[in-house]
Amino acid sequence: MIFNSLSFLLFFLIVLAGYWTMQAFRWRLRGQNALLLVASYIFYGSWDWIFLGLVLFSTLWNYFFSLWIEHTENERLRRRQLIVSLIGNFALLGFFKYFNFFSGELFLLLKAVGIAPEGGSQFIIANLILPVGISFFTFQASAYTIDVYRRRIGAEKNLPDFALFVVYFPQLVAGPIERAEDLLTALKKERSIDIELAEKAVWNLLHGFFMKVVIADNLAPLVDGVFGNRAYYLSQPDFASEFGAGQILLTGFAFMIQIYCDFAGYSFIALGASQLLGIPLTRNFLQPFFATNPAEFWRRWHTTLIRWFTDYVYRPLGGSRVSKWMNLRNIMIVYLVSGLWHGANWTYIIWGGVSGLSVIAYRLLRSDDDEPGIAAGLAGLILNTLLISITGLIFRAYDMAQVFAFFQGAMQYWDHTGMNTSAYELSRYTPRVLEIIFPVLLLDGMSRLFKSDDWLVERALWVRVLVPVTIFFLIVLRGQFGKEVIYFAF
């Protein structure tokens, strides 16, 4: 069940009606949480009921280990308990996400040295499916156990409340990755909703659906036309070398806008749905395409993942409290781990490395002056856009051979004369891409201009009516419904 489907709309309306009906009863909080817990299991089980076993394991594993850790006084034993807990969490994630990748690489290594066994298929588990959202709920549950170990929070005694924290359906499958001190605390409080919160929630829902079904899903055919589907690419790998530099850079940028609208759109829907339930969530994206340098871009992109890596990888390594070069090492480790988190493919690891190098280069080259002027800011915006366009190509490519083929074509063709199809001539491709992406850049620009993500609900009544109505009709008339979310693959 995906947000951009009729089944989810009906599901959510039923849950919402039952949820607020319980507000009239004395036991409303327990009843509302029980309803949300059942609804969350139904929501996750709609993909495959077998996957429920994984989220139940994660829930019980972290629940009991956190209680054990909290009641243990010996620090050495507590550390061992934490290590065992994290091994259990990440072994499950690693098996489903990385087993085929690493077993395949091992076979290639053994083959290179001449000791590979007959047939490499024995290293691969055919049709190994990545459970939806496993990276997100694993990271969230692990962070909770680490925080209990650090005595930052107390272990939750109420198992149903903790289970709801792990499986809360608005943010279960694609984040945001919430801290227990925020979400678990909110789940234990009485809720209410007023006109202002409802208006913000409806705006976030419309904003999210617009980004997902109008922008991202209409960009998808243009981006996929350059990358091709996997079967076509494998049958004709030289296809990627027939596009010119302009098309390659524009496609990289178009893909980054696509994945931004796909993921941020889903996050806005989660935010709006949760607001209608009276439960706040963390805003996951902060207009990243207006960033003027790589460090700022990644601070504004998937903020809760960056926060997770900062708290549980960067700072334990020493963060910025170490020497300058050790600090740069820590930054690179974070970006390499982030690349690996996204999937079992060398493209993700290289993407993480290139992103880390760009942040390191910026840190080494930046001046200590105050805020840059307009000219410097504009130059930084342009350079940063070129950089994320190139890294977007690496991230989206099926393998590094396709990346090299793209760069080969970019060195050969600087206009449309080398194109293999007139449909992707730069003169035709550019206006089609810009037409689609302009509205979302305009909306983000308004948030930057008014310095508020809720800028719309703070405007005059006619603006608060005209903009949502316009977006609603664009969703109805131009929306592509039922398409999967890109980040479900991560």
pLDDT tens digits, one per residue of 283-313: 999 999 999 999 999 999 999 999 999 999 9
Judge whether 342 counts as a catalytic residue: yes
The arithmetic mean of pLDDT across residues 410-422, rounded, is: 55
pLDDT recorded at residue 423? 46
- In this prediction the pTM is 0.89
Could you tell me the two tokens for 489? 């693959």
pLDDT recorded at residue 132? 80
Please choose, from the candidates 190, 180, 179, 140, the residue with its C-alpha nearest in 3D space to the C-alpha of residue 157.
180
**Whole-number Å distance between alpha carbons of 408 and 240:** 9
- The domain ranges of the chain are 6-191, 196-292+372-489
Q: Among the options 207, 302, 342, 416, which is catalytic?
A: 342
Give the mean pLDDT of the chain.
Answer: 86
**Cβ atoms 430, 253 nearer than 8 A:** no
**Whole-number Å distance between alpha carbons of 8 and 15:** 10
Give how far Cα 339 sits from Cα of 49, 177, 305, Å.
29, 17, 12
CA angle 473, 476, 478 (to 5 degrees): 95
- pLDDT tens per residue across span 93-128: 887 777 666 566 555 555 566 665 555 444 445 455
pLDDT recorded at residue 417? 46
Could you tell me the two tokens for 358? 């760009």
pLDDT recorded at residue 346? 87
- Find where tokens 């890596």 sit: 309
pLDDT recorded at residue 309? 93
Helix, strand, coil abundance in the chain, percent, nearest 5: 75, 0, 25
pLDDT recorded at residue 107? 56
High-pLDDT (> 70) share of the chain, %: 89
Residue of 386 and 48 predicted with greater confidence: 386
pLDDT recorded at residue 418? 44
Backbone φ/ψ region at 483: left (φ over 0), alpha (ψ -120 to 50), beta: beta
Residue of 474 and 486 predicted with greater confidence: 474
**Cβ atoms 128, 96 nearer than 8 A:** yes
pLDDT recorded at residue 419? 47
Give how far Cα 425 sits from Cα of 223, 225, 244, 413, Å.
13, 12, 9, 11
**Cβ atoms 450, 184 nearer than 8 A:** no
Say whether 88 sits in a helix, a strand or coil.
helix
Element (H, E) at 382: helix 374-396
Could you tell me the two tokens for 457? 């609900």
DSSP result, 189-252: S-----HHHHHHHHHHHHHHHIIIIIIIHHHHHHHHHHH--HHHHHH-GGGGGGS-HHHHHHHH
Dihedral of the alpha carbons of 404, 409, 411, 413, in degrees to the nearest 10: -170
Say whether 279 sits in a helix, a strand or coil.
coil
- pLDDT tens per residue across span 265-286: 999 999 999 999 999 999 999 9
Q: CA quadruple 266, 270, 272, 276: dihedral positive or negative?
A: positive
149 CB burial (10 A radius; 0-12, 13-18, 19+): buried
End-to-end CA distance of the chain: 17
**Whole-number Å distance between alpha carbons of 202 and 204:** 5
CA angle 141, 144, 148 (to 5 degrees): 145
CA angle 387, 390, 395 (to 5 degrees): 120
